[in-house]
């Protein structure tokens, strides 16, 4: 029987022991669609498990996907995984030339030439794919070319054909059961469980993918939604994330909250969703809490009313403040979004937004981030007319608008951080546990996150060996996360760090390597220097700080002595030796957690989970 493998790769995590949050829901939905249309009688369907997609490096993962030479492999493309997915598609093709590669997801559409111009895929599907995917697979199994099917493009000698026109998806959600209940995606208590009770959105925000991708509003009714939650609870779910756009604007919102409360009498389940401030009432806030919602996301986006109208968001800052007040009164925590760079906004508008957040007690709950022009959005389509310049590659970051220069975009994000007193994006945390991998000897394919340790009495004298070892690793796993860890006995010429940086910057770029580009940082490939002795010349350490992350091996009592200076005017601490519970608690209270690492793997895991909040990486 022909084999179909469905693959969904994770968001690259900031640390080796951080949870990816990867749940292959899209892949599972396609597996359900194949069954509903009877294709499971003609196909052996497998959704690749996160234990493979989240852990294996590129070579080992390509080997796993291509094992037994499957006839078909489907990749779900998102901005964080598209380039690695297409690399794996090419590697699977190299191992199994007869395999047909299909791609779909939010990244795939007629306005994203970046994806369509890359080799690797044979068939591209745009839009909601359940019905379309079944038609494509039926055609392929019948020996027919799927070219011409609605929403489908097929690669020819000159590249992909144009996507055949398609109507907006309108199939009832009840046609396809949850992939959790179909046993295609396991319910795991330590991972979030994702559900959709609504597709389609009544809002028309120009920066959002939803108005074009899913324009027809459809939903599970209250009874079906409650039954789904009850079934997931019985399978061990603990945190349920509703993917519904504008959760509180669905018809029957309050009856749904009542039904959720009945399914969750012990509050063993916690819920998360995104809501809009407009129309939210005190009674609804109370019902949200009674149902089990302990956190919600709410979009402020801008405090400029004209900007909100221009991007078709509507609403008002005052409604956000009032909704936040009601939700806080019920003990519900918030994530409040503020976007930097919306057309019409100025740097002053963003800083007024920070003032607003502080004034209403929302500063600690703020998510402030630069604008990205996502494929399929109205804002991307009008970018030229609006004077918006953006990167054509993920994460599609805006570089300039009519009211923001490139420098002002970066400066405004940094000013927001200074006002809020915290970093607003994740720190690329190096993996410094024992035993480290000897970088000089590492020849085999590795994991998704690898730390290569280069330990020598004269690192500069071995610079050619170091660069060769890095090149070898990049050939094997070009999209894996790599920490290049230098462990010197004495100060060395910093030309070595510069040479390594040039080599890493020449490697294939990706979402992870670009995500922190505005900060001059590379989340995918990091250089770390671990010194054994804190008494190196201060000017050398300062110069090193400008080029790499610097940590110093030290026992916990030394780290505690200067805890508040770690990562500021002192190197971070790589804590070696035993650590008592009291010392660990004191270190967590006094130090910036990003600048404390541990040689002991169990201590590092506990720190990333309990102090940094990265979640369970199992």
CATH classification at residue 122: 3.40.50.2300
Q: Count up the domains in the chain and report the number.
A: 3
> Domain ends where: 392, 420, 448?
420
Note whether 12 and 97 are same-domain residues.
Answer: yes
pLDDT (0 to 100) of residue 308: 96
pLDDT (0 to 100) of residue 41: 95
Q: How far is it, in rounded angstroms, from Cα 269 to Cα 544?
A: 48
Provide the whole-model pTM: 0.94
Note whether 467 and 595 are same-domain residues.
Answer: yes
166 in any annotated domain: no
Q: Please state the length of the chain.
A: 618
Give the helix, strand, coil percentages of the chain, each rounded to 5: 40, 20, 45
Write out the residue range of the structural domain in which residue 225 sits.
187-420
Note whether 74 and 202 are same-domain residues.
Answer: no
> Domain ends where: 385, 420, 455?
420
Residue 220: which CATH number? 3.20.20.70
426 in any annotated domain: no
465 in any annotated domain: yes
Note whether 403 and 443 are same-domain residues.
Answer: no
pLDDT (0 to 100) of residue 26: 94
Note whether 541 and 406 are same-domain residues.
Answer: no
Which residues of the chain, if any, have pLDDT below 70?
211-215, 534, 615-618
| Strand ordering across the sheet containing 525-531 | 437-438, 449-456, 481-488, 525-531, 549-554, 572-575, 596-598
243 in any annotated domain: yes
53 by Cβ neighbours in 10 Å (0-12 / 13-18 / 19+) ranks as buried
pLDDT (0 to 100) of residue 18: 84
91-94 long-range contacts, CB within 8 A, separation 24+: 91/58, 91/59, 91/62, 91/66, 92/62, 92/65, 92/66, 93/120
pLDDT (0 to 100) of residue 168: 86
575 in any annotated domain: yes
251 in any annotated domain: yes
Note whether 416 and 456 are same-domain residues.
Answer: no
169 in any annotated domain: no
Note whether 289 and 350 are same-domain residues.
Answer: yes
Note whether 134 and 202 are same-domain residues.
Answer: no
Note whether 351 and 262 are same-domain residues.
Answer: yes
Note whether 67 and 103 are same-domain residues.
Answer: yes
Note whether 227 and 328 are same-domain residues.
Answer: yes
550 in any annotated domain: yes
Instruction: Give residue-wise pLDDT tens across range 385-395.
Output: 999 999 999 99
183-188 long-range contacts, CB within 8 A, separation 24+: 184/27, 184/28, 184/31, 184/32, 184/45, 184/47, 185/23, 185/24, 185/25, 185/27, 185/28, 185/47, 186/49, 187/232, 187/235, 187/236, 187/237, 188/236
> Domain ends where: 395, 420, 445?
420
CA distances for 276 relative to 191, 337, 339, 504, angstroms: 26, 11, 16, 42
pLDDT (0 to 100) of residue 212: 67
Note whether 300 and 233 are same-domain residues.
Answer: yes
């Amino acid at each position: 029987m022909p084999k179909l493998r469905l693959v969904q790769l994770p968001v690259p995590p900031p640390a080796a022991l951080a949870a990816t949050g990867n749940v292959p829901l899209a892949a599972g939905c396609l597996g359900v669609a194949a069954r509903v249309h009877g294709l499971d009688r003609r196909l052996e369907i497998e959704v690749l498990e996160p234990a493979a997609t989240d852990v294996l490096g590129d070579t080992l993962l390509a080997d796993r996907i291509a094992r037994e030479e499957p006839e078909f492999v489907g990749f779900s493309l998102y901005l964080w995984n598209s380039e690695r997915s297409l690399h794996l598609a090419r590697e699977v093709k190299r191992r199994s030339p007869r395999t047909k590669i299909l791609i779909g997801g939010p990244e795939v559409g007629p306005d994203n030439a970046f994806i369509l111009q890359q080799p690797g895929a044979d068939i591209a599907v745009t839009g909601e794919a359940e019905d379309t995917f079944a038609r494509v697979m039926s055609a392929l199994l019948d020996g027919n070319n799927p070219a011409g099917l609605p929403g489908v493009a097929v690669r020819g000698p000159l590249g992909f054909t144009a996507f055949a026109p398609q109507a907006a998806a309108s199939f009832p959600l009840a046609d396809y059961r949850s992939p959790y209940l179909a046993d295609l995606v396991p319910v795991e208590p330590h991972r979030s469980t994702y559900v959709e009770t609504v597709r389609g959105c009544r809002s028309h925000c120009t920066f959002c993918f939803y108005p074009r991708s899913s324009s027809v509003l459809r939903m599970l009714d209250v009874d079906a939604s409650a039954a789904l939650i009850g079934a997931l609870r019985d399978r061990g779910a603990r945190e349920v994330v509703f993917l519904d756009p504008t959760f509180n604007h669905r018809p029957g919102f309050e009856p749904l909250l009542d039904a959720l409360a009945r399914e969750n009498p012990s509050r063993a389940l916690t819920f998360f969703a995104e809501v809009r401030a407009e129309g939210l009432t005190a009674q609804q806030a109370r019902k949200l809490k009674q149902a089990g919602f302990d956190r919600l996301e709410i979009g402020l986006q801008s405090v400029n009313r004209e900007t909100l109208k221009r991007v078709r968001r509507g609403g008002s800052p005052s409604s956000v403040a009032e909704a936040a007040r009601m939700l806080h009164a019920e003990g519900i925590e918030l994530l409040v979004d503020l976007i930097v760079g919306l057309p019409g906004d100025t740097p002053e508008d963003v800083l007024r937004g920070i003032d607003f957040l502080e004034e209403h007690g929302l500063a600690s709950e703020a998510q402030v981030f630069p604008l990205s022009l996502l494929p399929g959005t109205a804002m991307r389509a009008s970018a030229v007319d609006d004077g918006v310049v953006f990167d054509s590659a993920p994460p599609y970051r805006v570089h300039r608008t009519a009211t923001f220069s490139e420098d002002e975009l970066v400066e405004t994000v940094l000013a927001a951080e200074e006002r809020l007193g915290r970093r607003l994006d994740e720190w690329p945390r190096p993996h410094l546990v024992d035993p480290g991998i000897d970088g000089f000897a590492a020849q085999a394919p590795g994991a998704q996150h690898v730390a290569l340790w280069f330990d020598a009495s004269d690192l500069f004298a071995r610079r050619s060996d170091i660069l060769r070892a890095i090149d070898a690793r990049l050939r094997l796993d070009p999209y894996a996360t790599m920490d290049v860890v230098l462990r010197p006995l004495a100060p060395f010429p910093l030309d070595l760090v510069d040479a390594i940086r040039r080599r890493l910057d020449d490697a294939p770029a990706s979402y992870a390597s670009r995500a922190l580009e505005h900060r001059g940082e590379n989340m995918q490939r990091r250089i770390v220097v671990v010194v054994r002795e804190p008494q190196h010349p201060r000017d050398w350490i300062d110069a090193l700080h400008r080029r790499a992350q610097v940590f110093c091996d030290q026992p916990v009592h030394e780290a505690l002595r200067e805890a508040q200076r770690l990562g500021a005017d002192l190197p971070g601490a790589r804590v070696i030796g035993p650590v008592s519970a009291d010392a660990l608690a004191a270190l967590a209270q006094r130090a910036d957690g990003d600048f404390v690492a541990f040689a002991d793997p169990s201590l590092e895991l506990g720190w990333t989970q309990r102090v940094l909040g990265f979640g369970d990486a199992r």
